[in-house]
Amino acid sequence: MSSDDRKALIRKKMKAEGLVEGSGVPGKDLSSYNKNELWDLIQVTHCFPELQAKKSAVPPKPPNRRKSLIAWLLLAIGLAGGLILYYKQYPSLETRREISVNGIFMD
């Protein structure tokens, strides 16, 4: 499709939608803009992501609270189980202290 064909198609679609060709600024048509002004406008839009991204028609899925709760419970059970095993394996305070000190100064 040539450039002229694309322009004609765009104008046809705009007319079908009831849109008028132009800049939308009273007293200023498209030919009055120079390339530098257009380039500056394009560069400005890069600073504002809300101008670039279109919102999707499908809203994002909210997090499943039930799955999150189950994950937190499993994590808590795992930590509690690890602490219980640690204290069963090293019941005396002196042994635990010696392990901690050895762990700190391990080479």
Q: How far apart are CA 84 and CA 78, in angstroms?
A: 10
Per-residue tens of pLDDT for the chain, all 107 residues? 788 888 888 888 888 888 777 666 666 666 666 778 777 877 777 777 666 666 667 777 777 778 888 999 999 999 999 999 988 988 888 888 888 887 778 76
pLDDT, tens digit, for every residue of 38-62? Answer: 778 777 777 776 666 666 677 777 7
To 5 degrees, how large is the angle CA 27–CA 30–CA 36? 110
Write down the pLDDT at residue 26.
67
pLDDT at 76: 96
pTM over 0.85: no
Ordered by start, the domain boundaries in the chain are 65-104
CA distances from residue 13 to 9, 25, 57 in whole angstroms, order as listed? 6, 21, 23
